[in-house]
Chain A
Amino acid sequence: MTNKTAVAQRTERVVLRAEAVWKSYDDGAIRVLNDVDFAAVAGQTVALCGPSGCGKSTLLHLLGGLDAPDRGRVCINRKELNHSSNMLHMLRHEVGFVFQLHNLIPDLTLEENCLIPTVAAGIDRKTARARLQQLAERTGLSHRLGHRIQKLSGGERQRTALCRALMNRPKILLADEPTGSLDERTSAVVFDLLLEMVATEGLTLVMATHDRGLAERCDRLVEMHDGRIIESRTE
């Protein structure tokens, strides 16, 4: 295999790419990302590490289409995120989000929370329920489907958030400090589950975390500082 072919094959497998991305807030007063290049290949788990305010979350938001860069471009599966309908399609079918706070709707049940993305995507009820049943079994939440969010423990809530993120079978999972609000033991359990789900679903995971222990369990660790990627190493 020539070098050219190897590069071409690697390029083909890239599912998530940010090219020369800049982002600032308050009319440029706060510069968060400075000329960032990032790529993740299919099935890879990537940890974004760095101190608070270094731009990890902002990069995740740009990669998921929740926000637009000031300059540069973001591509998911080679399609550039450049207009709202495109972003909406990505949010519905290509990308799933898990946040530090579970961000579930407290008045709804676990089941109803998980079905929300399927309502947005117009997936029929039967298919959605079957998918939920499958995910609930794998995350150990089958017995909690009818329970309201207030009745769930922190770990269960985060597992519910994971189920919700995976309902529409995304190919990319973006996680912003997914275990940041959990105690050490629960954090380990949830992260194990996250990695297991990523493996079984064949997902690409990009995760922002402060936890070096968790980061080192990923395929790749990307170090950020002051809005720049300063180091990227494969474990």
Chain B
Amino acid sequence: MIFFKLILTNLRRHRIRTLISIAGIAFSVAAMLTIVTVLQGAIGMFSGILSSDSEIIVFERNVSDLFFSNVPAGAVQDMAGWPMVRNADPVLFGIVSSEDHPIITCFGVTAADARIRKATWMQGDRANFAQHDDDVVLGERAAEFLSATLGSQVQIGHGTFHVIGIVKTANGFEDGGVFMPLASAQTFFHKEGTSSVVTIKLRNKDDATAFKQLVKVKYKNLIALEDQEFTRSYSQFKILKATAWAVGGCGLLLGGLGVANTMIMSVFTRIREIAILRVSGFSNPQIAAMIFGESALVSILGAAAGLSIGTCFLWLLKLIPALHGYVDVSIQPAVVGIVIVLAFLTGVAGAFYPALYAMRIRAVEALRFE
């Protein structure tokens, strides 16, 4: 109890300094939580697009981005005929712009595609999809920012399209996107006879290995990955994740430097007091435990405040209409755990030198120190 009181007393003695350290850790934790959660959400949404009612994704080997991938229509037809395959849905990705929106994602899909089948049709009828070349179906949010309703003509890129449906999906990318018949999209993006990816639904999930092996044998320039494999290995996702953790890590490093500064000042201003503890029989580990205890408390308080701030910030992001559907703010427990552990370790690392310094204080000399 007295030991804990000593820790609290030291932190309370310089309240502003302690609060600044807690704030440093808090904002670092909040930044890390927000960035990682938003990017994880984005990755999750993008993965969701790819894995819509499918287990495997096939795309061109060694492409840096799926937008540059080309899967020949012949390969799609071939795979659709394999006995273990239930559905093989080609999807062509494209980016276009409209007057006010520089980036609109386009999905070239067939009428049988799960994205069309499983969406909630707010306006229009799914049976009308792909009847005409200039027909498009808009995601609900895309319809909103393009101010389009059923039957509207919309200008997308250099083309004018007829809106035959408005759909609502749980996925932000899809909700803000445009669905075109595959053939129209191929023409529009000058990718005749190809799609970006093929999503595969198997009759039996146990056939995944056999399917991947068959693709490897028959199509040297294509690669088939199960959804989770794809999420783990896709370089764009890896870059995004690494960036998120790196930015968050830098934030925490700054927070840790704040803790180190506080702890150094804290030790320097009470050398005499530490000497008194020494004379009272405190051992080196006890002195170090006191210093680490202070930094750990700062880190824990900072982490708690940071998690609250981060959660509030994510909640606010969710309320912004322009980001609706784009930001998945469900916080993963693993991310929270990692952030707390990192904050704790940063705080402890920040106390390393001060603790070392405190352990080296010689009582005799320090008691002469006024």
Report which A residues bind B (CB closer than 8 A): 61, 66-67, 84, 88, 91-92, 97, 99, 103-105, 107-108, 112, 115-117, 119-121, 125, 164, 168
Contact = CB atoms under 8 A, between A and B. Distances in A.
Given A67-B364, A103-B367, A107-B9, A119 B273 contact: no
A116 B277 contact: yes
A99 B281 contact: no
Contacts of B3: 119
Given A66-B363, A112-B5, A119-B2, A107 B280 contact: no
B365 to A, nearest CB: 9
Contacts of B2: 108, 112, 115-116, 119
B279 A88 contact: no
Contacts of B272: 103
Contacts of B1: 125
Contacts of B5: 108, 112
A205 B283 CA distance: 25
A120 B281 contact: yes
Contacts of A99: 367
B364 A66 contact: yes
Interface in B324-370: 362-364, 367
Among B278, B279, B283, B286, max chain A CB count under 10 A is at B279
A120 B280 contact: yes
A91 B9 contact: no
A164 B280 contact: yes
Contacts of A117: 280-281
A105 B273 contact: yes
A105 B280 CA distance: 12
Interface of B: 1-3, 5-6, 9, 12-13, 272-273, 276-284, 286, 362-364, 367
B341 to A, nearest CB: 29
A157 to B, nearest CB: 13
A66 B366 CA distance: 11
A121 B272 CA distance: 20
A227 to B, nearest CB: 16
Contacts of B363: 66
A92 B363 CA distance: 14
Contacts of B273: 105
28 contacts: A66-B363, A66-B364, A67-B362, A84-B284, A88-B281, A91-B280, A92-B281, A99-B367, A103-B272, A104-B276, A105-B6, A107-B9, A107-B12, A107-B13, A108-B6, A112-B2, A116-B2, A116-B6, A116-B280, A116-B282, A117-B280, A119-B2, A119-B3, A120-B277, A120-B281, A120-B283, A125-B1, A168-B281
Contacts of A119: 2-3
A119 B280 CA distance: 9
Contacts of B283: 88, 120
Contacts of A104: 276
A97 to B, nearest CB: 5
A105 B367 contact: no
Contacts of B278: 66, 91
Nearest to B277: A116
A198 B13 CA distance: 36
A233 B3 CA distance: 44
B137 to A, nearest CB: 69
A190 B34 CA distance: 62
